[in-house]
Chains A and B, each alone.
Chain A
Amino acid sequence: MEHTPRTSRLRFLALLPASALLLAGCATDQGESDSTTLTVWHYFSEDTQVGVMTAYEEMFEASHPDVDVENVFVPYDQYTSKLIAGVGSATGPDVVVFNGGEASTLALAGTLAPMTEYWDSFADAGQFPDGVVHRIDGEVYMAQGYVNLLGLWYNQDILTEIGVEVPTTVDELTAAMEAAKQAGYEGITLSGLSQGQGEWQAYPWLSASGFTWDNLDEAGLTAGYELVKSWVDAGYLSGESATWDQTVPFQRFAAGGVAFAENGNWQQGTAASTAEFEYGVAALPIGDGGQVYLGGEAEGIGAFSENPDLAWEYLSETFYSAEGQLASLEGSGTIPSRLDVAEDEGVTGNPLLAGFAESVARNGANYPPANALPESVSDLQLLGGQMWSSVISGQLSPADAAAQLIEGVQPFLR
């Protein structure tokens, strides 16, 4: 048969309907066999924390074979910007896992869906203390599957060598650091970064000196700043801490040669894998008046999730379930937020968690502070971090930093 352009064209046209049917059939098959994807944004980079996210993914996929959970890592510094940028295009993840301290920022920016109805009908809601449920304008937007807080990590080998006990007061801590320094060790590591992480680490020492966000005592604040400045001047704390986030100082502690570290319960995995010395954790020696933020990541449903019901199921079966919280405890040493799980032997029988548990009971404080304006939480954290960093580096005297903070923070508080 002769192939002319005309016959070729006719053949092509004749094939079109068949191709369309074939493609439609394929699309239908594809659609029927496709699983639903549930996107979960997080900013975890530590292996232990990533491991927990993977465990949750497997848990949920096992009970929902038609669902594909996709964990997406978004760097902490870009997380909020990306979420807010997504508001314009009405896009975003199904599940948001982010710093609970910034829940109000995310909610006010319209990146989260209210989950009050889900929460109110959640049978286990009563197991969660109020402090871990983030409400803005009466709506529940996020809740925490666990609590993170700071404690005093100590190098038992060094303490044994210099012959001191684990300190229970600031004076004892200072004396222990002096003894450690005399023996050739570094006293303490902590974060002095000029942003929220610095503010988070500063608050226990500042509150121990009499300053709190609902009692803006300038003399107490000055005393708190003078305390940390005296540590730098005496050589117990490196001035370099003014540039450290919370990861660097713990790596330095875990490498050995440092007596103490102010750091969190989430570092248990790093300690176990890195430290080649005997270590322990005690409550920060800040007396009864000192306060330690009860932080940790909070979880919520993305404002533009196409499957909010499924997102809620994921949350209630992982982060908010007893099984999920135990998995997180085992995987990365987090402290469960559920009252029933907090009584589990995994918590009460873990000597490392005992120090943190003591802090929760004695010094636990809301994070962010209850009297901070929801839209000003970030301002408060940044200002607090900058002043802390300024004092450590010597940019500002303790008195000047205290005066600047007291003056600058007024518009951010109720």
Chain B
Amino acid sequence: MSTRALSTTATGRTSRRGRAARWPYILPAAIFLAVLSAYPLVQLVRMSVSAVSSRTLRDPWEFTGLDNLMRGIESGDTGAALLRTLIFVTIVFTVGMIGGLAAALALRGRRGSSGFLLALMVFVWALPPVVNGSVWKFLLGDAGLFNELARTVGLTDTAIPFLYDQHLSLISVALVNSWAVVPFNALVFRAALMGIPPEVIEAAKLDGASAWQEIVHILVPSVRATAVVLSVLTVVYAFRSFDFIYVMTYGGPGTSTVTLPFLAYLQAFVRYDFGLGAATSIVAGALVIVLAIAYARNVRKEEAA
């Protein structure tokens, strides 16, 4: 046997031993995931193809195939909620990404005020959505701060119907949701910006680059990889958003802010049609899974690079 062959065999054995040694460490997490993620997901899929209501929840579930999905589509509820969800996601994505990058650029220095603002952003990010949503509901009310300001500057005599106009309500809730995601995006963008070597920026300054050119030609391209990952996370976050809608509008007025996750909630936990709610959740989940795959591919590509 050659030395090379011996070495390869030894390496292979070590590698196998190493892999075997990993299992005890991986196993708890794997069991945890299987119990808390995989099992409920399997049940959700089963429920989505079965007739399950509060009356039949305890009985064996009758298989009905795609009946639940078709009921949702034929009623028009799923299509309308999907459209609202796409509008909602577009707003949260656009404002969340641009706002996050802008905040990160503004806070990239090490001034004292930056530290204070960062702490404030972490506070906003960490606030429970229920608290956040309740405060914003108050601020956007007829007698709230924003309407008082609008009246003071002469923008309106009465009140801007932030939360009870059929179009404005969806935009308002999406903007509040964006406001809650900006701090997280800003913190991630800032970490990426802090990783840019100072010499690069100094060189650009020596070459006479303006602040705007510095941002457009050096800073933004440098955080491109981070932006791609963050954009997927932001879209997934927006897609599964539920709590702000629950607190601020309860899907109303009418059905103006009923997005896919909220529709699934109404179907499953207000109407107790668990099969229908599960089918709607599957539609929303499928869209998120597509994005999750895109995210995973991107991470792998970045790691390979």
A residues engaging B (CB < 8 A)?
80-81, 84, 87-88, 105, 108-110, 192-195, 238-243, 375, 378-379, 382, 386-387, 389-396
Can you name 12 A-B residue pairings with CB atoms under 8 Å?
A84-B54, A105-B272, A110-B58, A193-B250, A194-B253, A195-B250, A242-B252, A242-B253, A243-B248, A393-B169, A395-B254, A396-B254
Q: Does B57 count as interface, using CB distance less than 8 angstroms?
A: yes
- Chain B interface mostly helix, strand, loop or mixed? loop
A391 to B252, CA, bound (A): 11
> B214-258: which residues lie under 8 A (CB-CB) from chain A?
248-256
Contact A394 B166 (CB under 8 A): yes
Q: Does B176 count as interface, using CB distance less than 8 angstroms?
A: no
Contact B254 A389 (CB under 8 A): yes
B-chain residues with CB within 8 Å of residue A378 when the two chains form the complex: 270-272
Q: Does B285 count as interface, using CB distance less than 8 angstroms?
A: no
A-chain residues with CB within 8 Å of residue B58 when the two chains form the complex: 87-88, 110
Range, interface on chain B: 20 to 34
Contact B57 A109 (CB under 8 A): yes
A85 to B272, CA, bound (A): 12
Encoded as 1 (CB less than 8 Å from any A CB) or 0, chain B from 256 to 292 comes to 1000000000100111110000000000000000000
A-chain residues with CB within 8 Å of residue B271 when the two chains form the complex: 378-379, 382
Query: Given contacts A80-B269, A390-B253, are A243 and B57 in contact (CB under 8 A)?
Result: no
B-chain residues with CB within 8 Å of residue A389 when the two chains form the complex: 252-254
A-chain residues with CB within 8 Å of residue B137 when the two chains form the complex: 243
A-B contact sample (10 more), CB < 8 A, given A110-B57, A194-B250: A88-B58, A240-B163, A241-B164, A242-B252, A243-B248, A243-B250, A375-B54, A375-B55, A379-B271, A394-B166
Q: Does B165 count as interface, using CB distance less than 8 angstroms?
A: yes
B residues engaging A (CB < 8 A)?
53-55, 57-58, 137, 141-142, 159, 161, 163-166, 169, 248-256, 266, 269-273
A-chain residues with CB within 8 Å of residue B250 when the two chains form the complex: 193-195, 243
Contact B54 A386 (CB under 8 A): no
Query: Closest A-chain residue to B273, C-beta based?
Result: A379
CB of A87, distance to nearest CB on chain B (Å):
6
CB of B262, distance to nearest CB on chain A (Å):
11
CB of A235, distance to nearest CB on chain B (Å):
8
A238 to B253, CA, bound (A): 13
Query: Given contacts A243-B163, A378-B271, A393-B165, are A108 and B254 in contact (CB under 8 A)?
Result: no
A193 to B58, CA, bound (A): 32
Query: Given contacts A195-B270, A240-B163, A379-B271, are A393 and B254 in contact (CB under 8 A)?
Result: yes
A-chain residues with CB within 8 Å of residue B54 when the two chains form the complex: 84, 105, 108-109, 375
CB of B266, distance to nearest CB on chain A (Å):
7
Query: Given contacts A109-B55, A240-B141, are A386 and B254 in contact (CB under 8 A)?
Result: yes
CB of B10, distance to nearest CB on chain A (Å):
44
Query: Closest B-chain residue to A378, C-beta based?
Result: B271
With beta carbons under 8 angstroms apart, the residue of B55, B165, B255, B256 that contacts A108 is: B55
Query: Closest A-chain residue to B257, C-beta based?
Result: A194
With beta carbons under 8 angstroms apart, the residue of B55, B57, B141, B166 that contacts A393 is: B166
Contact B164 A242 (CB under 8 A): yes
B-chain residues with CB within 8 Å of residue A243 when the two chains form the complex: 137, 163-164, 248-250, 252-253
Contact A390 B254 (CB under 8 A): yes
With beta carbons under 8 angstroms apart, the residue of B53, B57, B142, B273 that contacts A240 is: B142
Query: Closest A-chain residue to B158, C-beta based?
Result: A235
With beta carbons under 8 angstroms apart, the residue of B159, B253, B266, B270 that contacts A395 is: B253
CB of A263, distance to nearest CB on chain B (Å):
19
B-chain residues with CB within 8 Å of residue A87 when the two chains form the complex: 57-58
Contact B252 A386 (CB under 8 A): yes
A-chain residues with CB within 8 Å of residue B269 when the two chains form the complex: 80-81
CB of A207, distance to nearest CB on chain B (Å):
21
Query: Closest A-chain residue to B54, C-beta based?
Result: A109
A-chain residues with CB within 8 Å of residue B57 when the two chains form the complex: 84, 87, 109-110
Query: Given contacts A84-B57, A110-B58, are A242 and B270 in contact (CB under 8 A)?
Result: no
A243 to B168, CA, bound (A): 13
Contact A194 B161 (CB under 8 A): no
Contact A393 B270 (CB under 8 A): no
Contact B272 A390 (CB under 8 A): no
B-chain residues with CB within 8 Å of residue A382 when the two chains form the complex: 266, 270-271
The 7 nearest A-B residue pairs measured at CB = A390-B254, A393-B253, A194-B252, A242-B253, A109-B54, A395-B254, A395-B166
Contact B256 A395 (CB under 8 A): yes
B-chain residues with CB within 8 Å of residue A391 when the two chains form the complex: 254
A-chain residues with CB within 8 Å of residue B169 when the two chains form the complex: 393
B-chain residues with CB within 8 Å of residue A387 when the two chains form the complex: 254
B-chain residues with CB within 8 Å of residue A240 when the two chains form the complex: 141-142, 159, 161, 163-164
A195 to B245, CA, bound (A): 14
CB of A22, distance to nearest CB on chain B (Å):
37
A221 to B166, CA, bound (A): 22
A-chain residues with CB within 8 Å of residue B142 when the two chains form the complex: 238, 240
A241 to B251, CA, bound (A): 14
Residue in B163, B249, B256 with the greatest tally of chain A CB atoms within 10 Å:
B256
A-chain residues with CB within 8 Å of residue B254 when the two chains form the complex: 194, 242, 386-387, 389-391, 393, 395-396
Residue in A84, A241, A389 with the greatest tally of chain B CB atoms within 10 Å:
A389
B-chain residues with CB within 8 Å of residue A392 when the two chains form the complex: 164, 253
Query: Closest B-chain residue to A387, C-beta based?
Result: B254
A-chain residues with CB within 8 Å of residue B53 when the two chains form the complex: 375
A115 to B159, CA, bound (A): 52
Query: Given contacts A109-B272, A243-B249, are A386 and B161 in contact (CB under 8 A)?
Result: no
A-chain residues with CB within 8 Å of residue B161 when the two chains form the complex: 239-240, 393
B-chain residues with CB within 8 Å of residue A396 when the two chains form the complex: 254
Contact B164 A239 (CB under 8 A): yes
